[in-house]
Structure 1
Amino acid sequence: MTSPALVAVGGYSTSGSGRGTGIALLRVTPDDSGAAAETLWEVAAADPSFLLWSADGSLLHAVTETSPTHVLTLRVAEDGSSGEIIGDLELAGSGGCHLAPGTRPDTLLVANYGSGSVETVRLDAEGLPVELLDLDDHHDYAEDRDPHPHQVVRLPGTELIAVPDLGLDRVVLYRQVQTGHIEPAGEIPFSRGSGPRHLAADHESSQLLVSCELSGKVGVAVRGEVPQDVGALQVMRGPELEWSVRSMVPASGRPEESALSHVELAADEHHALVANRGPDTIALFSLAGMRPELVAEVPVGAHPRHFTQLGTTILVAAQESDRIDVLRRHQDTLEVAGDPIPAPSVSCLAPRP
């Protein structure tokens, strides 16, 4: 048995057929028969699409997929017994879908899918969002395209921030300067129609795995020397770092068309997990070879939007089935580990650090 974990759960509450309350905290205890879950509390919130804990686990930030976007902050009791909203900052963008810490510790970065922008938020000494510092509009790079930034990721081993943009078919790279503002620092282009949505980087960012929603493929971008005569190879060049897109592989072995959502590396960095909407599966890839190899694929509930890992246990947010599926991985195997946990319109999962 694994020790209990506190897992924050976001659920769509107003958009479309949203059936959730907003934000809940579960105590999840993985065991041999799956995972036991107890709901500790729920807080009403409008369409939280992604959640982020502070480093010490005392605060929980949420971004809302609303117009305009809001960043909410909850204070959570040390034992997880209570949570209350203590911060609410309205942003300029709309359709917020992801947030992450900036490279400056007093900032958060927000991806707005709806308005096609990335915003920088300043936190006060208590860690509460108090000011919109900066807005970078991806329409400035769009030409004839409709930008949809979908995630914000700090690249380990670098000072770079990566933003996959599904509408622009590229990963936009930024550096954050001393004032907290972000400045463009390059890009990793993908072929038209790929739709990069989320990415996962190893501990040095020597390899990036990118889930491409529109093509149904996982892209692998490798950091290192790039030959001068690259021909058709797609390349990002920066003043210090460069990546090349080495391969694109289908994320599912099923016949249904797949719209990828989330991708994560396993702790050993020798495996990766990918969520496929359409086939409604979680796929397990081995990264031992030159290209990712699909080694297992397990059906889950409808529209797996997000997932998270608790050791070898994987919790899957199956949005349209109103449930969290429980899987277990052992090396190259992946299996259903127990009964799903009820969770209306679940959008995201965030284990407390």
Structure 2
Amino acid sequence: MDERSEQLFYTGTYASRNERGIYVCALDIENGDLRMIGGVEGIERPSFLALHPDGSKLYAASETGEGELYAYQVDARTGELHLVDRKGTKGAHTCYVSVTADGRYVMATNYSGGNAAVFPAMEAGGLGDMSGQVQHTGSGIRQDRQDAAHPHSIIPDPSGQYALVCDLGLDRIVVYRLTEDGKLVAHREAVLPSGSGPRHLVFHPSRPYAFVANELNNTVAVFGYNERNGELALLQSLSTLPEGVIDVENTAADIRITACGRYVYVSNRGHDSIVLYHVDQVTGKLKTIEWVETFGGTPRNFNILSGYLVVANQDGNNIVSFAIHDEDGRLTRTGYVLEVPSPVCIEPTR
């Protein structure tokens, strides 16, 4: 690998335990070309991945009936993964994993189990015993998708004081105080319009705003965020679909913001597109700019790597790269496609 011209990334999939589940891939930062380097077997449905801030450890959510977290050591030169630990999450279908900015705690949500859990990140690469757990209860207005609580993500806030859980089943973002000993203490809630289905959340890198992808009503919500109080205030809601699109079954999926804080992207599964928004740096509000086809079905997840947006198309069985234009954030297809079975997560190395 030429470190000057390639960015490594990991791809999670819906593979069985006997198949390769996590792939090590590379993006050519000169032209957006993609290639596969290797990967690991032995984990079932590794649908979400998170790299430790020091880059030496990767955590994977195993989205099964008995949810688990896997911990891998990362080879600093090749990106190769070595399993060092696995822990049960005490809930079904672990669908999200994140790491606090200080690297002390690994957090996960169980979609069907309705709960969230916290584990200490051990220096040797493993996971300590579960330090905190919270259980959500209740339901929403959509009996097909909101029959119970469904925590879909847990995101540490920029201050490290709080963790925010997007609950698709309850139409709520629950803010927890993350204690020094790794426990979650209920703090506040932000309630979204009924049937929204909040899924994923990103913070602005330098301004007091948060942006949420709502899966069920295909919207992106803008919140003001008071970091000191851990408080969200809804400012705006916009569709993730073009006006007049009514004949496509769609669910919004992932959301990302560029490091400069000027561009927000959301993926649409069904419409099979990425929508670009410009961020007003004063008000935090979004302006819709364009939709770009993902050239593969069901873009469940995507990420931003070295000036490119890289999309995992779950039902297209491929990964597609787009160049991001600095001046306006618009996407241009590079023409490069990597064939991967059921890719559902893109996580870059440091």
Structure-2-length-normalised TM-score: 0.89
User: Using the alignment, how far apart are the partners of 1:113 and 1:122 within structure 2?
Assistant: 21
User: Using the alignment, how far apart are the partners of 1:72 and 1:219 within structure 2?
Assistant: 32
Give the unaligned 5+ runs of structure 2: 142-146
In structure 1, the partner of 2:273 is 281
User: Using the alignment, how far apart are the partners of 1:165 and 1:158 within structure 2?
Assistant: 20
In structure 2, the partner of 1:26 is 25
> Contact between 1:87 and 1:129, CA under 8 Å: does it hold in 2?
yes
Moved more, 5-14 or 210-219: 5-14
> Contact between 2:34 and 2:336, CA under 8 Å: does it hold in 1?
no
Assess, with a 3 A threshold, how the Cα gap between structure 1 residues 222 and 77 changes in structure 2: closer, same or farther. Answer: same
Assess, with a 3 A threshold, how the Cα gap between structure 1 residues 81 and 206 changes in structure 2: closer, same or farther. Answer: closer
In structure 1, the partner of 2:262 is 270
User: Using the alignment, how far apart are the partners of 1:204 and 1:334 within structure 2?
Assistant: 23
In structure 1, the partner of 2:95 is 97
In structure 2, the partner of 1:299 is 293
User: Using the alignment, how far apart are the partners of 1:193 and 1:304 within structure 2?
Assistant: 22
Moved more, 36-45 or 111-120: 36-45
Q: How does 1:17-96 map to 2 (within 5 A)?
A: 21-32=20-31, 34-80=32-78, 82-96=80-94
Moved more, 255-264 or 81-90: 81-90
Q: How far 1:110 moved relative to its partner? A: 0.6
Alignment partner of 2:241 out of 209, 229, 252: 252
Alignment partner of 1:184 out of 183, 186, 190: 186
SS in 2 for 1:130: coil
> Contact between 2:29 and 2:306, CA under 8 Å: does it hold in 1?
no
User: Using the alignment, how far apart are the partners of 1:131 and 1:190 within structure 2?
Assistant: 34
> Contact between 1:11 and 1:47, CA under 8 Å: does it hold in 2?
yes
- Structure 1 stretches (4+) deviating beyond 4 angstroms? 141-145
- CA RMSD across the alignment: 2.4
Q: Deviations over 1:234-257 (max 9, x none)?
A: xxxx98243221111011216134
Q: How far 1:212 moved relative to its partner? A: 0.4
> Contact between 1:109 and 1:121, CA under 8 Å: does it hold in 2?
yes
Assess, with a 3 A threshold, how the Cα gap between structure 1 residues 222 and 5 changes in structure 2: closer, same or farther. Answer: same
Q: How far 1:311 moved relative to its partner? A: 2.7
Q: How far 1:347 moved relative to its partner? A: 1.2
SS in 1 for 2:315: helix
User: Using the alignment, how far apart are the partners of 1:212 and 1:323 within structure 2?
Assistant: 24
Q: How far 1:288 moved relative to its partner? A: 2.6
Q: How far 1:80 moved relative to its partner? A: 1.6
1:315 aligned partner, one-letter code: V
Q: How far 1:260 moved relative to its partner? A: 0.6
SS in 2 for 1:240: coil
User: Using the alignment, how far apart are the partners of 1:288 and 1:171 within structure 2?
Assistant: 23
> Contact between 1:156 and 1:205, CA under 8 Å: does it hold in 2?
no
Give the unaligned 5+ runs of structure 1: 225-237
1:309 aligns with 2:309: no
> Contact between 2:107 and 2:118, CA under 8 Å: does it hold in 1?
yes
Q: How far 1:268 moved relative to its partner? A: 1.4
Q: How far 1:47 moved relative to its partner? A: 0.4
Assess, with a 3 A threshold, how the Cα gap between structure 1 residues 136 and 103 changes in structure 2: closer, same or farther. Answer: farther
1:305 aligned partner, one-letter code: R
2:275 aligned partner, one-letter code: A
User: Using the alignment, how far apart are the partners of 1:51 and 1:82 within structure 2?
Assistant: 15
Assess, with a 3 A threshold, how the Cα gap between structure 1 residues 316 and 143 changes in structure 2: closer, same or farther. Answer: closer
> Contact between 1:27 and 1:40, CA under 8 Å: does it hold in 2?
no
User: Using the alignment, how far apart are the partners of 1:329 and 1:40 within structure 2?
Assistant: 27
In structure 2, the partner of 1:342 is 339
> Contact between 1:195 and 1:212, CA under 8 Å: does it hold in 2?
yes
Q: How far 1:342 moved relative to its partner? A: 1.0
SS in 2 for 1:246: strand
Q: How far 1:204 moved relative to its partner? A: 4.7
1:215 aligns with 2:210: no
User: Using the alignment, how far apart are the partners of 2:207 and 2:79 within structure 1?
Assistant: 37
User: Using the alignment, how far apart are the partners of 1:205 and 1:62 within structure 2?
Assistant: 30
Q: How far 1:142 moved relative to its partner? A: 5.2
> Contact between 1:29 and 1:35, CA under 8 Å: does it hold in 2?
yes
> Contact between 1:223 and 1:244, CA under 8 Å: does it hold in 2?
yes
Structure-1-length-normalised TM-score: 0.88
> Contact between 1:40 and 1:81, CA under 8 Å: does it hold in 2?
no
Moved more, 287-296 or 128-137: 287-296
2:286 aligned partner, one-letter code: P
Assess, with a 3 A threshold, how the Cα gap between structure 1 residues 104 and 186 changes in structure 2: closer, same or farther. Answer: farther
In structure 2, the partner of 1:199 is 201
SS in 2 for 1:215: coil
User: Using the alignment, how far apart are the partners of 1:205 and 1:69 within structure 2?
Assistant: 35
